[in-house]
Amino acid sequence: MTARSTFDCIVVGGGPAGLAAAAALASKGIDVALTAPAAPPPEPESEDAGSGALERPTETRTAALFPPAIVMLQRLGAWDAVAPLSAPLAGIRIIDATGQLLRAPEVLFRASDIGRGDLGFNVPNAGLAAALEKAVRALGVSLLADGKVLSTCEDDKFRSLELAGGRTVRARLVVAADGRNSMLREAAGISTSRWAYDQAALATRFSHSRRHSGISTELHGPEGPCTTVPLGERVSSLVWMDKPDVIAHLAAAPADELLRLLGQRLGGLLGTLSDLGARSVFPLAGLVAQTMGQARIALVGESAHAMPPIGAQGLNLGLSDAATLADLVAENSRLGTDIGSANLLAAYDAARSSDVHRRVNAVDLLNRSVRPSLWPLGLARGAGLHVLAAMPALRRRLMHEGLFPPPPVPSLMAMSADDGSAGVAAPARHPAT
């Protein structure tokens, strides 16, 4: 572990957004350190890396990542390690299971509708974090794995961080990727809009006898969607949203019982279900920071925005934050201006905040529109699905807006013609069958 205490930039947080931000900045030649809680010491006879390894909590989630995010992972050198664990998405199907009188038609968004081989890949979060950590090391980022930040203060030129390991480090710019309860966001005096949903999500995986054909299916029930996402040959990940007590029941149920209930919910779509994976539960909330940066702190990932897992927007947004910030910091560094300045942070906010607000609001609207108490919204949603089912041009436009960040596209995500039609970087195994 490095003994240095001053860096151009320090990223706080070892989740996927923090790791990607550190790799993105380092890939642009910026002097970066990453600080995150350390892994517990290894058992005496274990061959684990031990000292210097970052904390890696058990993770049952996967993330559907869109083409610009996959291109970014390729450019950061993280994709080859995670591609064999991932599955391409040939399409996303939305099925109305709200039981409302006017049932909306099924809508299928196919990659081929927009001339692509895939809409992105479903990537396991644990494999992604491991691949990004390897890329971060390869790019020369200084890893400070004694690094839970206990307190922070700012002077004229630097922001200092007191770390749990006992030392103090400082940088011109601190990137807060410390999650939705970010202590750095609070230290910067950035307020948030926050709201809770009377919903939770269960995340797990399962095997099935019928092929998914690369199609992710969102079954929109009255208390939230039950979504399957291809993960391997006849293996899918599951995100099941419902009221917190229902999700608690599903999380505690014997595996056979949960598979039976899931089979019932899917109505035979994936055939006989088996091999249920580990389960975890996520309470759902919405959050938007009032600005993306202030007081030498730039927010990236869930420190800036959180939303329910509908439409796979969360981490895709976090990666767009990281790529955008890396371009701005690189440009300012080249010009020799202060990379933690109020001007840079204002430019970062201007580049990101409308995209963040638009997506958080769209997910919020979609989530609320299925609730029985909001039936006028449900009618509008049903009508919207009718229109989408009937109008391919509108479907294509919505797909573009959902999958691609607005211009100017950050350089790490900019795609060439080759990145599209045949599918970006097809994985070595697990074809979507």
Ligand X SMILES: Cc1cc2nc3c(=O)[nH]c(=O)nc-3n(C[C@H](O)[C@H](O)[C@H](O)COP(=O)(O)OP(=O)(O)OC[C@H]3O[C@@H](n4cnc5c(N)ncnc54)[C@H](O)[C@@H]3O)c2cc1C
**Contact footprint for ligand X (CB under 6 A):** 12-18, 35-37, 55, 61, 63-64, 147-149, 177-179, 183, 201, 203, 239, 282, 301-302, 309, 312-316, 318
Q: Which of residues 149 and 347 has its CB atom nearest to ligand X in the complex?
A: 149
Q: Answer yes or no: are the C-beta atoms of 102 and 108 closer than 8 Å.
A: no
- Least Cβ distance, residue 86 to ligand X (angstroms): 12
209 vs 361, beta carbon nearer ligand X: 361
Q: Are 406 and 317 within 8 A, CB to CB?
A: no
Residue 92 CB, nearest approach to ligand X (Å): 11
Cis-peptide, bond into residue 408, ω within 30° of zero: yes
- Start-to-end CA distance of the chain, whole Å, equals 44
| Length reported for the chain | 433
Please tell me what DSSP assigns to residue 214: T
Residue that has been written with the tokens 């996402």 in this structure: 229
CA dist., res. 386 & res. 251, Å (int): 34
Contact 32, 10 (CB under 8 A): yes
Rounded distance between C-alpha atoms, residue 332 and residue 17, angstroms = 22
Q: Would you say 169 or 203 has its CB closer to ligand X?
A: 203
Torsion of CA 81, 179, 363, 313, to 10 degrees: -20
- Cβ 134 vs Cβ 78: under 8 Å: yes
Shortest approach of ligand X to residue 103 CB, angstroms? 26
Tally: H helices and E strands in the chain: 11, 20
Q: Nearest distance from residue 335's CB to ligand X, in Å?
A: 29
What is the closest distance, in whole angstroms, from the C-beta atom of residue 356 to ligand X in the complex? 12
Got the DSSP string for 191-205? -EEEEEEEEEEEEEE
Q: Which helix (H) or strand (E) holds 123?
A: strand 121-124
**What phi, psi does 106 have (nearest 5°)?**
-70, 140
CA-based nearest residue to 145, from 6, 276, 38, 251: 38
Cβ nearer to ligand X, comparing 86 with 313: 313
Nearest approach in angstroms of CB 12 to ligand X is 5
**Residue number, 128 or 332, with CB nearest to ligand X:** 128
Distance CA 337, CA 173 (A): 12
Q: How far is the CB of 89 from ligand X (least distance, A)?
A: 10
Q: Which two tokens stand for residue 385?
A: 């699905």
In the bound complex, what is the minimum distance in angstroms from residue 248's beta carbon to ligand X? 15
In the bound complex, what is the minimum distance in angstroms from residue 224's beta carbon to ligand X? Answer: 11
β-strands 280-289, 305-306 pairing: antiparallel
